Amino acid sequence: MNQRRILWEGAPTIAFIGNYPPRQCGIATFTADLLEAISAEAPETNCWAMVMNDIPDGYLYPPQVRFELNYKNLADYRLAADFLNMNEVDVVCLQHEFGIFGGSYGSYILTLLQNLRMPIVTTLHTILKEPDGG
């Protein structure tokens, strides 16, 4: 008796924000695994990734990656918000880890989030008791 409740018509779109393979880090692996698991469990869902690049030329990403940001460029975060809104993404799934977003303490991600017109689900991978170290 496994019933699914339909929350919207058509194929919902989930955009995952974080890192993605081939970038080698735990967040990249987690994001890819989560995207693939949701896609497998709900194949009608349109899942894709928006990624932070830590090198100028980026990486050779798979087709699941639809948008790349230079994590140090604030303008990229504004463009990313516009891209998500224009593509009528239903839900953003943010993978938060200290050090992957630009700005003071990763503040650039706030510019993106404040300009979105859809719900945001956030996974906090690390929570620092005292971010300043003091």
CB 38 within 8 A of CB 52: no
Note the CATH architecture for domain 13-124. 3-Layer(aba) Sandwich (3.40)
pLDDT band at 128 (very low <50, low <70, confident <90, very high): confident
Hey, where are the domains in the chain? 13-124
Dihedrals φ, ψ of 26, to 5°?
-65, -35
**Joined tokens for residue 112:** 């993106």
Among 131, 127, 101, 126, residue whose Cα is nearest residue 113: 101
Q: Is the pLDDT of residue 5 over 70?
A: no
* Residue-wise pLDDT tens digits, 33-71: 999 999 999 999 999 999 999 999 999 999 999 999 999
* Residue-wise pLDDT tens digits, 73-106: 999 999 999 999 999 999 999 999 989 999 998 9
Cα–Cα distance measured from residue 54 to residue 2, given in angstroms and rounded to the nearest whole number: 42
Q: Look at residue 134 in the predicted model and tell me its pLDDT.
A: 44
Question: Could you tell me the CA-to-CA distances from 59 to 24, 32, 51 in Å, in that order?
Answer: 10, 15, 10
Q: Look at residue 127 in the predicted model and tell me its pLDDT.
A: 81
**Region 101-127: what's the mean pLDDT?**
95
Cα–Cα distance measured from residue 18 to residue 24, given in angstroms and rounded to the nearest whole number: 12
Q: Is the pLDDT of residue 4 over 60?
A: no
